[in-house]
Structure 1
Amino acid sequence: MAKKSKIERNKQRVALVKRYAAKREALLSTANDESLPMEDRFEARLKLAELPRNANPTRIRNRCAMTGRPRAYYRKLGISRVALRDLGSRGMIPGLVKSSW
């Protein structure tokens, strides 16, 4: 089980990303639009830099929904390999059979 503080910090980051998504998108489109004057683009970059760092989507860490584990995360399932194996061993995932040889 991951530390609760890490899980909560990641939840706060997700909330910040949602809150600033529209503003960030507008500033990025302005900053990357080459038809605009360089001054406007530079000003948009400065405003983008003033946004909170945690408002950047790349700072969100994919974590297991069950345990909060940050590594070995399956995006399709939303859980880690450890949780997947545990659920599979209990027979809670249809079609998943633990192999042995």
Structure 2
Amino acid sequence: MAKISLIQREKKRQELEKKYYLIHRSLKKEISRILSLRERWKINEKLQSLPRNSYAIRLRKRCFLTGRPRSNYKYFRLSGYILREMVHACLLPGTIISSW
């Protein structure tokens, strides 16, 4: 189980990313449309003035059950060992256990 403080920090980042998503997208479109270098710098300053944690790149995928940050499967939103336990317990239909 991950530390609760790390999970809460990640939730805060997700909320900030949702809040500033449209602003990021509109400023990026403006930069690509404008040819003047000075205007691009002004828009870039606006982008840099936004909070760092509002960027989508700062988000980390975490396990839905345990909060583990590594070895996550996007389709199930679970970490590897939780996924394996659920497959062995036949809780995920359609998955195949491979053994050799």
Same fold (TM over 0.5): yes
Q: Deviations over 1:69-94 (max 9, x none)?
A: 10001011111111101111221111
1:1-101 aligned at under 5 Å gives the runs 1-35=1-35, 37-101=36-100
Q: Structure 1: give runs of 5+ residues left out of the alignment.
A: none
Cα RMSD of the aligned pairs, angstroms, is: 1.3
For normalisation by structure 1, the TM-score amounts to: 0.90
Q: How many Å apart are 1:97 and its aligned residue?
A: 4.1
The ranges of structure 1 where at least 4 consecutive aligned residues each deviate by more than 6 angstroms after the TM superposition are: none
- Gaps (5+ residues) in structure 2? none
C-alpha contact (below 8 Å) 1:88/1:98 kept by paired residues? yes
d(CA) in 1 for partners of 2:5, 2:32? 36
1 CA distance for matches of 2:59 and 2:94? 31
- In the alignment, the residues of structure 2 paired with residue 68 and residue 51 of structure 1 have an alpha-carbon distance, to the nearest angstrom, of 27
Percent identical residues: 37
Tell me the distance in 1 between the aligned counterparts of 2:40 and 2:67.
Answer: 39
How many residue pairs end up in the alignment? 100
Contact 1:33–1:41 (CA under 8 A) maintained in structure 2: no
